[in-house]
Amino acid sequence: MKADSLLRGQGDHEHQFHGFMTLAAAMQERAPPRGVPDQTIASLPTATFQEWATPDSDQMCPICFEDYNAPDPVLKLPDCNHWIHKPCLEVSLFIAKLPARTDLTHICRNG
């Protein structure tokens, strides 16, 4: 199945899905691995929500939209001073394969 027919929605759904997955796999093989370097994430300040929370703190992780619990491990973003669940940020940066950057301002939706 051609890429243009995938975009126009032609063909049966199973065939479209298989074609899309084949195209995605081929594109991934050609693209260099991306992601924020390990040392960038390791350098972020880490604590529990309880340690950093103030009365005017955001109460919800901007990635998973779950409320923070006092013992939740969080990472602080350097330029906006927001924090994010540590596992949420790690998954977002590695699994979603965001472009490699040394700054993390693109993670915060408010900054």
**pLDDT band at residue 1 using 50, 70 and 90 as cut-offs:** very low
**pLDDT band at residue 31 using 50, 70 and 90 as cut-offs:** low
Q: What is the mean pLDDT of residues 28-35?
A: 60
Q: pLDDT tens digits, residue range 72-104?
A: 999 988 777 788 998 888 777 665 554 445 455
Which percentage of the chain shows pLDDT scores above 90? 14
Q: Is 80 exceeded by the pLDDT of residue 70? A: yes
Cα gap 80→111, rounded to integer Å: 6
CB atoms within 10 A of CB 85: 22
Q: Report the chain's mean pLDDT, rounded to a whole number.
A: 72
